[in-house]
Amino acid sequence: MKIVIDNKIPYIKGALEPFAEVVYLPGNLTTPDVVKDADALITRTRTICNRKLLAGSKVKFIATATIGFDHIDTDYCEEAGIKWTNAPGCNAESVNQYIASALFSWSMRKRVDLASLTIGIIGVGNVGKRVEKTCRTLGMNVLLNDPPRERVEGKQYFTSLETIKREADIITFHVPLNESGKDATYHLANEEFLQSLTKKPLIINSCRGEVTDNEAIYNAIEANDIDGFIVDCWENEPDISLDLLNLSDFGTPHIAGYSKDGKANGTKMSVQALSKFFGLGIDNWEPQEIEKPTNTTIEINGNQRREYSILAEAILSTYDIENDDDNLREAPLKFEQLRGDYPVRREFATYSVKADNINNDTLNKLKNLGFSIAE
């Protein structure tokens, strides 16, 4: 058996060598000649798995170590009898961490308390549910919009897009990219959407670049129709709009889901799925020795401090969006390099808070966010 693996997928070397010839290649070098005698591919979003790549090959199985799968031509795979799988939710907590950092950093710049604001979450799947929990923990008023879930679960938990456009101070998107159909999300935040907003909300896109019409966002900022834009996912990556970067509050190089935990989860889900498909017997395989930051203990003294300040310190100690924003602004043409060489980032659960003079209510909120409390 031969397996071709994207060489940017971490923690996977050695997992499949006992069972197959394993070839590691950059995504852009995964060509028809390379895959023609391969039985399986483990990819990322940079490898377009379509007829052009796969026709005439032996490929029977494709795993992408990512949530998104719009780089896989699923219709062709079905036609060719190729089984494919993605890694839903693998980096959901990483994106939640990104959103939490973005909200605190933005609110401190604006000198507003998040607890006084209403956030509209559009898309309440693996990521959106975690963002909802975080925002409720921070005391925010939360509006949820998810038409597919609403059709199944009823209207009691969800609200309309019109209500969010009327009431939200912040709107964050966590939807898949659907080009068409009743749940189409392509350019969901377009000129019509932005001009129909009652307030001037902050817009956040950390899901798919094409969900927001970047030209419309640029014009809305210029016209003062929205209060700002935080963007991790861009149209036309890696050739991003420098004009939009200049106007955005925070701009990052598609790294919201780039915690080591999220990457390890994606690798784990791919290896386990491949094992089950081919009957390799490593259905419970997990990555080993995931890197940690130098210090995983956060010491916070809450004496004469507001709860808001304590929660902000804990969150920003694990990840500060300002650093990624600075790096992209300094070298926007190195978009891909900034992604490829991304430093170690671990999620809240890796950290324990050593708390002094912090009341139980605040400690419980830290626990709700995912931190452990050091004795």
- Map residue 87 onto helix, strand or coil: coil
Q: What is the DSSP secondary structure assignment for residue 328, as one 8-state letter?
A: H
Beta partners for residue 64, in sequence order: 43
Which residues, 6 or more positions from 229, have their beta carbon under 8 angstroms from its beta carbon? 202, 203, 204, 205, 217, 221, 244, 247, 248, 249
Q: Evaluate whether 122 touches 171 at the Cβ level (below 8 Å).
A: yes
Q: What is the DSSP secondary structure assignment for residue 159, as one 8-state letter?
A: -
Q: Which two tokens stand for residue 94?
A: 């990483």
Q: Evaluate whether 98 touches 148 at the Cβ level (below 8 Å).
A: no
Q: Which two tokens stand for residue 190?
A: 């377009």
174, 254, 345, 346: the catalytic one is 254
CA distance 317 to 222: 33
Q: Which two tokens stand for residue 151?
A: 């059709």
Q: Which residues of 294-325 are buried (b: 16+ CB within 10 A; e: fewer)?
A: eeeebebebeeeebbebbbbbbbbbbebeebb
* DSSP codes joined into one string, 212-267: B-HHHHHHHHHTTSSSEEEESS-TTTTS--HHHHHH-SEE-SS-TT--HHHHHHHH
167, 191, 237, 307: the catalytic one is 237
Q: Which two tokens stand for residue 42?
A: 């483990």
Q: How many residues does the chain have?
A: 375
Residue 237 annotated as catalytic: yes
Residue 254 annotated as catalytic: yes
44, 130, 174, 208: the catalytic one is 208
Alpha-carbon distance values, 303 to 38, 98, 142, 371 (Å):
61, 27, 30, 20
CA distance 306 to 358: 10
Beta partners for residue 331, in sequence order: none
Active site residues: 208, 237, 254
